Structure 1
Amino acid sequence: MTISELQHTAGTIVLAGAGKMGGAMLTGWLAGGLDPARVVVIEPMPSAEITALVARGVRLNPPEAAAAEVVILAVKPQMFREAGPALKPWVSDATLVLSIMAGTTIASLQQVVGGAVVRAMPNTPAAIGRGITVAVPAANVSAAQRTLTDALLRATGAVEWVDDEALMDAVTAVSGSGPAYVFLLAEELARAGIAAGLPEALATKLARHTVSGAGELLRLSEQPSAILRQNVTSPGGTTAAALSVLMGTDGFQPLLERAVAAATARSRELAK
């Protein structure tokens, strides 16, 4: 099933939480041909963009609930225990429950809302259709529900499936939180350029274009990232001088290992 084929499926799709990630997913579904009249959005503080979708047929915060085909949980993990009971009327044993909440386990989801649960972790490039999501299904998720989940998630980018839920904490640390690491790289590269004498506007533009352009080259190239790095590096040149610092004992590798380990640990804490 592709995203465009969602229009041929039956049943209501409930989106609980229409913030940046939930909103990005909804935009992708509607762009792919999903009938807005099939969509229910539960969001206590909807943005103007979400409110405007009511004119297209999306139902916003309806007073009554009935079992839906799919319920997508996109609320903040810290709010889930409080919000869960209000969402339970939308869920039957046959409902696909798709969670994109960090650190919230399949067992917790089954306990609070029930249904056939898929736990997933997208990332913010989903807003431009360039995200990547990793998903893990509960044992009671059918093949058809897994196919439907795949179509819903592909509205915002690539999808990978795993069978071991324990991997999701590291997934969260690498791809879920990863865009922030890249944005920090652009931020600090610009700051370093300013320190080297560049005007702020020029340093910022150079950093943004360098990070985004290198990312696009990495996406389009079939070569490993290490080869792409080596292609930029002439022996004894300026890049080699910089890399001798970045790849030193206090460089990128140990720093990122500590960062990912910290994010992984925090994801595990959220599950408690």
Structure 2
Amino acid sequence: MTRHITFIGAGNMASAILGGMVDSGYSREAITASSPDESQLAALHERFGIQTTTSNVDAVKQADVVVLAVKPQLMKDVCTELHGTVQDTRPLIVSVAAGIPADALERWLGGDLPVVRCMPNTPSLVGSGACGLFANPRVDADQRDLATTLLGAVGLVEWVDEESLLEAITAISGSGPAYFFLVFEALEAAGVKLGLPADSARRLALQTAAGAARMAQQSDQSPERLKRNVMSPGGTTERAVHCLEDAHLRQAFLEATDACAQRAREMAEEFGNR
């Protein structure tokens, strides 16, 4: 039986997930999106052929799954609006909002509901996402599989048994694309300094990153071993890597991810106490 899925919010992440579902063969008739922005809804209907409405309450009445894809600062008001309806219909709640604990979502929605929190990342917009998922104790095996199908439509899915580990996922994959974009910036600038045209430096940096990622995904060797395979003794790569090590690149990543995880914990406390 096809489950009806409603998206509250029609922004980029909702569009990416529902688009991935449609592309993978999920029934368009079983997907609804709700938003106060009629232009967003019109674009989604035109592109994917799904149902749309400006009423959140109407949207969730027939839903087996409700995907909460609104900004964190709006989440409490949205959940309060949906409280009465979801207490009657008992759907699976899936939240893609950063920083809001599952128990806060459940409390705002009236309690005793199955809730899945997920931490997606922006490459989901191009079908290459990485998403961490956590389920509260009221999520059954079938609902867990459904959440995997939902988020798996736009990339890799990793479940964690402790909600606090979503902070680590935020630090590694949630915020991780920005780290790589920073590296792309730095390589492009270095290429320009060495005499390359900016557009050539950018293309070379991006293709090199894409190729390295693909090699790492397809190889049974560790990243450390793959790195060593490129480093001839006394060669150019060895000297470059030693420069990066001497600049304490590893420590910089440790400090950056620690700072990111700490901010995720602070956000959870801020939103969860509302």
> Which amino acid letter does the alignment assign opposite residue 160 of structure 1?
E
Q: Helix, strand or coil for the counterpart of 1:207?
A: helix
> Which amino acid letter does the alignment assign opposite residue 230 of structure 1?
R
Contact 1:67 1:91 in 2 (8 A): no
Match of 2:24 in 1: 32
Q: Report the identity percentage.
A: 38
Match of 1:94 in 2: 90
Match of 2:152 in 1: 154
Deviation track 1:115-141 (CA, whole Å, cap 9, x = no partner) reads 210111111222232212111110111
Counterpart CA distance in 2 for 1:212 and 1:68 is 39
Going from structure 1 to structure 2, the CA distance change for 1:87 and 1:192 (only over 3 Å counts) comes to farther
Q: Which sits farther off after the overlay, 74-83 or 136-145?
A: 74-83
> Which amino acid letter does the alignment assign opposite residue 219 of structure 1?
Q
Consecutive unaligned residues of structure 2, counting only runs of 5 or more, are 270-274
Counterpart CA distance in 2 for 1:63 and 1:129 is 27
Deviation track 1:133-166 (CA, whole Å, cap 9, x = no partner) reads 1111101111111111111111111211111111
Q: Which sits farther off after the overlay, 192-201 or 37-46?
A: 37-46
Match of 1:112 in 2: 108
Deviation track 1:17-49 (CA, whole Å, cap 9, x = no partner) reads 222211100101111222222222122335363
Deviation track 1:178-202 (CA, whole Å, cap 9, x = no partner) reads 1111111111100111112222121
Going from structure 1 to structure 2, the CA distance change for 1:134 and 1:35 (only over 3 Å counts) comes to same
Contact 2:129 2:155 in 1 (8 A): yes
Match of 1:265 in 2: 262
TM-score by length of 2: 0.89
Match of 1:50 in 2: 44
Contact 1:67 1:89 in 2 (8 A): no
> Which amino acid letter does the alignment assign opposite residue 102 of structure 1?
A
The correspondence of residues 64-213 of structure 1 with structure 2, limited to 5 A, is 65=58, 66=61, 68-92=63-87, 94-113=90-109, 114=111, 115-213=113-211
Contact 2:35 2:56 in 1 (8 A): no
Contact 2:57 2:81 in 1 (8 A): no
Match of 1:59 in 2: 52
Consecutive unaligned residues of structure 1, counting only runs of 5 or more, are 1-7
Q: Helix, strand or coil for the counterpart of 2:161?
A: coil
Contact 1:126 1:132 in 2 (8 A): yes
Counterpart CA distance in 2 for 1:14 and 1:57 is 10
Counterpart CA distance in 1 for 2:211 and 2:25 is 31
Q: Which sits farther off after the overlay, 159-168 or 75-84?
A: 75-84
Match of 1:3 in 2: none
> Which amino acid letter does the alignment assign opposite residue 99 of structure 2?
G
> Which amino acid letter does the alignment assign opposite residue 58 of structure 1?
Q
RMSD of aligned alpha carbons: 1.9
Match of 1:5 in 2: none
Q: How many residues align?
A: 262
Match of 1:4 in 2: none
